[in-house]
A and B are shown apart, each in its own frame.
Chain A
């Protein structure tokens, strides 16, 4: 199985300041079709996960443009340009290249300082 790791696991942030979460995979996530199936999900307290980013850098419909994804191969990053109160929650990366199984990272908890 592809192991996904995230850092940090806890991220206290100041409102209006940027935030960055790193995700690494145990092997390259480049698929034979040339795509890289790395996704980012947000889970607000008490809510279901919501996908923010698919294929490394594509924002889902309705996702604010302060969220951006980047990276390649085994190293990926989710950035929030200016953190807002509604961004509090746990963020997960997930790979969909080498499956089954789809595998998720352990999650990064974002809260306000």
Chain B
């Protein structure tokens, strides 16, 4: 069974850097073809893809957020970390991680709500 779980702060201040961790089980990020992505969802709004990392450490980012995002992996810990700099209230959202599977994302973690406020 594949599971993913997001963790990190629930509240960050404007201009701070957000660091989120996705801890997964049931697959390995050292296996060819495997990837893990991050997607966010502001309250009551639609989904927005942020970043993706592959087993071979290839990384892809949303062009609109690329300057603020960094995605890394720790294969030994089964973790993927997303950092987002210069947080703003508009970045308030539930952040999800998900496995890349058959060209899209499945399954997803439970999500973690991050509020940006002073």
Q: Which A residues form the contact surface with B (CB < 8 A)?
A: 1, 35, 37, 39, 41, 48-51, 54-55, 58, 60, 92, 94, 96, 99-107
Contact B60 A99 (CB under 8 A): yes
Contact string against A for B residues 32-44, beta-carbon threshold 8 Å, 1 for contact and 0 otherwise: 0000010100000
Chain A residues whose C-beta falls within 8 Å of the C-beta of B103 in the assembled complex? 35, 37, 39, 54-55, 96
Listed A/B pairs (29) with beta-carbon separation below 8 Å? A1-B63, A35-B103, A37-B103, A39-B103, A48-B111, A49-B39, A49-B96, A51-B105, A51-B106, A54-B102, A54-B103, A54-B104, A58-B102, A60-B106, A92-B46, A92-B47, A96-B103, A100-B52, A100-B60, A100-B61, A100-B62, A100-B63, A101-B62, A102-B104, A102-B105, A103-B49, A104-B49, A105-B46, A107-B46
A55 CB contact (under 8 Å) in B48, B63, B102? B102
**How many Å from the CB of B62 to the closest CB on chain A?**
5
